[in-house]
A and B are shown apart, each in its own frame.
Chain A
Amino acid sequence: MLMHALHDEGVELIYGYPGGTALHVYDAIFRQDKIEHILVRHEQGAAHAADGYARATGKPGVVLVTSGPGATNTITGIATAFMDSIPMVVLSCQVASHLIGTDAFQETDMIGVSRPIVKHSYTVFDAKDIPKTIKEAFYVATSGRPGPVVIDIPKDMTAPENLFDYHYPDEINIRSYNPPVDPEQSQVERAVDAIIKSSRPVIYAGGGAIASDAEEILYELNEIMDAPVTNTLMGLGIYPATHHRFLGMLGMHGTYQANMAMHNADLIIAVGARFDDRITNSPSKFAPKAKVIHLDVDHSSVSKIIEANVAVFGQVKNSLQAIKETLKVRIQDYDKGALEPWHGQIKEWKSMHGLNYELYKDESDSHQILPQAVVQHVYEITNGDAYVTSDVGQHQMFAAQYYHFDKPRRWINSGGLGTMGFGLPSAMGVKLAFPDEEVLCITGEGSIQMCIQELSTCMQYNLPIKIININNEALGMVKQWQDMNYGGRHSESTYKNSLPDFVKLAESYGHVGIKIEKNSELKSGLEKAFAMKDKLVFVDIYVDPSEHVYPMLVANNSLEDMWLSKDKKT
């Protein structure tokens, strides 16, 4: 009955791992051929894979696990999806209902454990409720501000003898849940008033804009407005990175021009972004001259950190559309030319301390491989058109800075929770969704080891992902902070020659491994890896371990206070 309901909901793929309380469901999976099940090697991998699938496709990811450890192993994956508002439904099986509360074998109060990190959760207490619960869970997970939903299913609810008149509901109405869709016109008018009055606007777009599939309408609006655009780490790709009005990412490791533009703007248009602490630095010093228009579907995000002057509630796609239409009507009041001095100023900032995009052109062995150059080569070789997943740390920031995403849903990373181990399993989810597309995982030797068991899953399902391991033989971002703030004391951030031979490791799983240590071999080595279309290739690249990520905001200050290099501050 559960499988029927999932099929009727349109589910095509499930990521999971069987176990005692899930056996009835797994038997049902065996006896059907409509839904494909992917057997991972660790339940955390299942959650991240479903998450990657959801981020790349926009469809909800589905996870199926057994009770107890099966369920708790998904927690990090659920928290990752929750922080980044990713639609996901986790079906966690539970001990039989008469055993709940008796400390039965593999019993965990999954609803209790997951409560703070889910959008909502359900327990099935009557098998007849399964279709309605599934329908409701998918509706909640995908509507409004998306998020993960857990359904806890005691074993007796899925017993094959537990038959009932099956009917899948066509639609669902939850009276206490009505996320806004269309904005109030009065709010839209106020937003347009502010846009017309502004001479130094910045559009600041985040993950909410991607969740709302707002790329086209954002582009069209800015064809009229002609404002500079910056993206958050989560928003990369919502506006074409190669567009001349694009400033790059903002925030902690954002570009000089993006942070300077935000700090000096007279109007910030926040589109599905939530003023995270990695963006604002000290909120009291954030963008002192700016009015804020905040477009969001979630009321509790607006004026949470930074007070909004105009709040536009609704699906941001619809809100942008309404602003565009209204601005068009009042176009004679809007003077695009008034932005010229602002564009001039931004151009000047860019030329002063913009990122160096030419690094990769020096292919001599006069220096060690630079991590930034690795990303630039990968960008060139893949024509900027790959799906790129990432883990967390320096390599993630280098990827965000140097891989230019022109399309949304191509940059898949754990922004909010910062989950190491996310990269490889999420790449599996993307590759399963788009088998013909280039999917690569930019990672580091620290992160990749947190979910490396999934190399085995990649073999079973023939997933030819490219793993770009930026190996600096240390937990690079931790080490960078220790260098900058702790007198260079590298407490527990290096491994003292205990790293595995990643080439042999990849080979032992049946994949291909390539090791690159010399700068002169970087380009050819990467080209060789990407030429092997039907193989998973693990490229282990030894880079200069002393490299830091810059720019970097100076803590507890404004957005114009940045470290630009190891010894240079703004």
Chain B
Amino acid sequence: MIKRKLILIMENKPGALVRVIGLFHQRGYNIENLHVDVVEDFAPYKNIEDKLNTKFEPNQISRLTIQTTVSDILMRQILRQLNRLIDVIAVSNEEATYFKGVLLDENLL
């Protein structure tokens, strides 16, 4: 069990946050720290825009950071299931980034 930090980029829509939190709650894991911001500076996410062939507009996406303590195997499962959520655009931990199902080796976020 290791303390971990997760970063999510997601659509800024009502209901998106609670879907994310539900995946932790369901398994009985506590979230130690949670932070959500509307993204205003899109420059760091240019590569995501390119991959999705889209252009982020103001107030459209949020950046969410979560701190929690879970095992390795479970972390991978949660990462993938977070990535499966329709409103989630990309998920990243310290080692890897999941981007709509594609595991990217580099840490993007």
Interface residue? B4 (CB, 8 A): no
B14 — which chain A residues lie within 8 A by C-beta? 123
Contact with B along A121-157 (1 / 0, CB 8 A): 1010000000000000000100000000000000000
Task: Output the least CB separation between A190 and chain B (Å).
Answer: 16
Of the residues B19, B76, B81, B100, contact of A115 by C-beta under 8 Å: B19
Cα distance A303–B73 in the bound complex, in angstroms? 10
Question: A176 with B89: in contact, given A115-B19, A299-B101, A313-B101 (CB under 8 Å)?
Answer: yes
CA distance A346 to B99 in the complex (A): 43
- Give chain B nearest CB distance to A475 CB in angstroms: 29
Cα–Cα distance between A299 and B100 once the two chains are bound (Å): 9
A111 and B19 alpha carbons, distance in the complex (Å)? 11
Known: A299-B84, A300-B81. A175 touches B101 (CB 8 A): no
| Minimum C-beta distance from A472 to chain B (A) | 36
Chain B positions within 8 Å of A313 at CB level: 101
List chain A residues, Cβ under 8 A from B53. 175
- Are A174 and B84 closer than 8 Å at their CB atoms? no
Question: What are the residues of chain A within 8 A of B98 when measuring CB–CB?
Answer: 299
Contact with A178, one of B15, B18, B88, B100 (Cβ below 8 angstroms): B100
A121 to B86, CA, bound (A): 10
A116 to B22, CA, bound (A): 7
| Least CB distance, A490 to chain B, in whole angstroms | 34
For A179, list chain B residues within 8 Å (CB). Answer: 101
A-facing mask of B62-89, CB < 8 A → 1, else 0?
0000000000000011001101101111
Q: Interface on chain B toward A: helix, strand, loop, or mixed SS?
A: mixed
The residue that B87 contacts in the complex, of A115, A176, A178, A180, with Cβ under 8 A, is A176
Give Cα A178 to B84, complex, Å.
10
With both beta carbons as reference points, the residue of chain A lying nearest to B78 in the complex is identified as: A300
- Tell me if B100 and A176 are in contact (CB < 8 A): yes
Interface size on A, residues (CB 8 A): 22
CA distance A299 to B80 in the complex (A): 7
The reply to whether the CB of A119 lies closer than 8 angstroms to some CB of chain B is yes
**Beyond A177-B100, A178-B100, is A140–B83 a contact (Cβ under 8 Å)?**
no
- Known contacts being A299-B101, A300-B81, A313-B101, is A176 close to B88, with CB within 8 Å? yes
What 8 A-B pairs are tightest by C-beta distance, nearest first? A300-B80, A299-B101, A120-B86, A176-B89, A175-B54, A175-B52, A300-B81, A177-B86
Extra pairs beyond A112-B18, A299-B80, A304-B80 (13, CB < 8 Å): A115-B19, A116-B26, A123-B14, A174-B86, A175-B52, A175-B54, A176-B10, A176-B88, A176-B100, A177-B100, A178-B101, A299-B98, A300-B80
A-B contact pairs, 30 of them (CB 8 A): A111-B15, A112-B18, A115-B19, A115-B22, A116-B22, A121-B15, A123-B14, A123-B15, A174-B86, A175-B54, A175-B89, A176-B52, A176-B86, A176-B87, A176-B88, A176-B89, A176-B100, A177-B86, A178-B100, A180-B101, A299-B80, A299-B83, A299-B84, A299-B98, A300-B77, A300-B80, A300-B81, A300-B84, A304-B77, A304-B80
